[in-house]
Amino acid sequence: MAAYLDSLRALAGHAERLLSLAQGGQWEALAEESSRHQLLFEAFAQTSPPALDAAERAEAKSLLAATLDRHAALSGHAGPWLADVGRLLETLSNPAAR
């Protein structure tokens, strides 16, 4: 049980860190840090959900909801930046578009 909740806690905490980086416009640090998220998710995916008591289920539900909310907020911050990068890359790859 501890490994399962610990993995959820790590994912939620990391999602908060990613969101904080996006809110601060720290895109390079966000890109570097995002690779760690995949490792945390893979570790979580390898844990078997144990039988949880009511308090543990509530915590797991809260952690999952917080993680999803943070990722949605992260998309809101990163989306405009990614669009700008896309336009820049298009300009670089298509000189006629300049």
Q: How far apart are CA 69 and CA 75, in angstroms?
A: 10
Per-residue tokens: 54: 């009511």
Q: 52 and 60 in contact (C-beta within 8 Å)?
A: yes
Q: What are the sequence ranges of the domains in the chain?
A: 2-97
Q: Which of the four pLDDT bands, split at 50, 70 and 90, describes residue 95?
A: low
Average pLDDT over residues 9-22: 95
| pTM of the complete model | 0.75
- State the DSSP code for 80: H
Amino acid at 50: P
**In the prediction, which pLDDT does 96 show?**
67
pLDDT digits (tens, 9 = 90+) for 42-88: 988 898 888 999 999 999 999 999 999 998 998 888 777 777 777 88
Domain 2-97 has CATH 3.30.70.380: no
Beta strands in the chain (DSSP E): none
Q: How far apart are CA 94 and CA 98, in angstroms?
A: 8
